[in-house]
Amino acid sequence: MTAKLKVGVVGATGMVGQRFISLLAAHPWFELACVAASPQSAGKPYAEAVAGRWSLPGAVPANAARLTVLDAAQVEQVAGQVDFVFCAVDLAKDATATLEEAYAKRETPVVSNNSAHRWTADVPMMIPEVNDGHAQVIDAQRRRLGTTRGFISVKPNCSIQSYVPALHPLRDFGLTKVAVCTYQAVSGAGKTLESWPEMVDNVIPFIKGEEEKSEQEPLKVWGSVSDGRVVNAALPRITAQCVRVPVSDGHLAAVFVAFERKPSKEQILEAWRAYAGTPQALKLPSAPSPFLNYLEDDARPQTKLDRDAGNGQAVSLGRLRPDTVFDWKFVALSHNTVRGAAGGAVLTAELLKAQGYLTAK
Ligand code: NAP
């Protein structure tokens, strides 16, 4: 058996960082070697740094609990201990972009949750089942950065991770217009219902920047690669409304869709049933199978019942029916801090390892 790659989590103490820690507790390919966060946490054992704010079931995994948290800005120190890092810091966009580039230039690949580099044309923004081919822009990115192994790969926003997978196998029917309303959990804001009591018995119809991301990021995910850059797809036109709801985890989306060649209900269900991506073909450790689950019960998917499908990596679909304005409408659900954040990044890293982009130093 080949040795595991040594990985660091930068932003390890936050909501997404904690998910990384839990997903890396017994990962078959990756071994947690280093945790980093802000100067406030630096110097403390990880268990102490997250005391009182560990938000996942069970205790802090033993392999993380005893690690001393490093200052994320000490790039040399962190990079010296790992083959690559996951990044989930909550910093200003410019500062995040600079920090991630510093790691990449120190020959330490970065698989990031952050939005800072999502629009950098030679940075792949991947949903591994949808656009694994975008990894090829890493070669051009390495030339730009002057690195031999360092690069940045990002994952798209959590809000799009249910409806983009659902729409992807339907693109053959000429997807023209999409309207989507997302119902997003409080963990998407790095909070719990306990730490955000104003959300209990409440709905907030505004999430800063989320509608723009929900409308634009799918076009990069569905883009084509030309000359070492991702060129956005022109269609579909997407309009989004994003709403915060009093749910701990799980982003639900109500989706309306129009096609050039309207498929039948059976054709849509068959396209979903049959769809599998490269992660399924390669049997990557975190790949859910099936990727898309259609539930016949009209009252499903529900956040509480269905967000953990496929260990939180699968997408649950339901309520496919004709629409009076668009062609079809349906509901889609994904786990925002697993598939939408840390889990999606871990699956991306597995794909990048399988493709030969992530290697031991
Ligand atoms: P969070 O719970 O607020 O955690 C933020 C993390 O960043 C903590 O580890 C924190 O360390 C660290 N940090 C803060 N200031 C820092 C500094 N000056 N230097 C280094 N590290 C610093 O946030 P989150 O919800 O996990 O989100 C993290 C990132 O992922 C954000 O960019 C967010 O937009 C993105 N994201 C979140 C989700 C989600 O579902 N929550 C989904 C997709 C993407 P300390 O504990 O030491 O302060």
CA count, 13 A, side-chain hemisphere, 342:
27
Quote the longest CA-to-CA distance of the chain: 59
Catalytic residue among 27, 87, 134, 158: 158
Residue nearest to atom 48 of ligand 1 (CA): 38
The amino acid occupying position 148 is T
Identify whether 242 is a catalytic site residue: no
In short, whether 72's Cβ falls inside 6 Å of ligand 1 is: yes
Identify whether 251 is a catalytic site residue: yes
What the chain holds in terms of domains, given with CATH numbers, is 5-157+342-354 (3.40.50.720), 159-335 (3.30.360.10)
Q: Phi, psi at residue 155, to the nearest 5°? A: -110, 155
What is the predicted pLDDT for the residue at 1? 56
What is the predicted pLDDT for the residue at 7? 98
Question: Rounded to 5, what percent of the chain is helix, strand, coil?
Answer: 35, 25, 45
Choose the residue to mutate in 9, 10, 13, 16 for probing ligand 1, maximizing ligand atoms within 8 Å of C-beta: 16
Distance from Cα 332 to the centre of ligand 1, integer Å: 26
Distance from Cα 41 to the centre of ligand 1, integer Å: 13
What pTM, to 2 d.p., does this model score?
0.97
Distance CA 13, CA 22 (A): 11
Distance from Cα 190 to the centre of ligand 1, integer Å: 7
Distance CA 316, CA 339 (A): 12
Residue nearest to atom 16 of ligand 1 (CA): 38
In short, whether 156's Cβ falls inside 6 Å of ligand 1 is: no
Contact 51, 309 (CB under 8 A): no
Residue nearest to atom 43 of ligand 1 (CA): 341
Residue nearest to atom 4 of ligand 1 (CA): 14
What is the predicted pLDDT for the residue at 2? 78
In short, whether 257's Cβ falls inside 6 Å of ligand 1 is: no
Instruction: Report which ligand 1 atom has the smallest distance to the Cα of 50.
Output: 46
The sign of the dihedral angle between the CA atoms of 298, 267, 348, 62 is positive
Question: What tokens does 213 get?
Answer: 């991301």
pLDDT tens for the chain, 361 residues: list them: 579 999 999 999 999 999 999 999 999 999 999 999 999 999 999 999 999 999 999 999 999 999 999 999 999 999 999 999 999 999 999 999 999 999 999 999 999 999 999 999 999 999 999 999 999 999 999 999 999 999 999 999 999 999 999 999 999 999 999 999 999 999 999 899 999 999 999 999 999 999 999 999 999 999 999 999 999 999 999 999 999 999 999 999 999 999 999 999 999 999 999 999 999 999 999 999 999 999 999 999 999 999 999 999 999 999 999 999 999 999 999 999 999 999 999 999 999 999 999 999 9
Distance CA 319, CA 254 (A): 9
Strand partners of residue 68 = 45
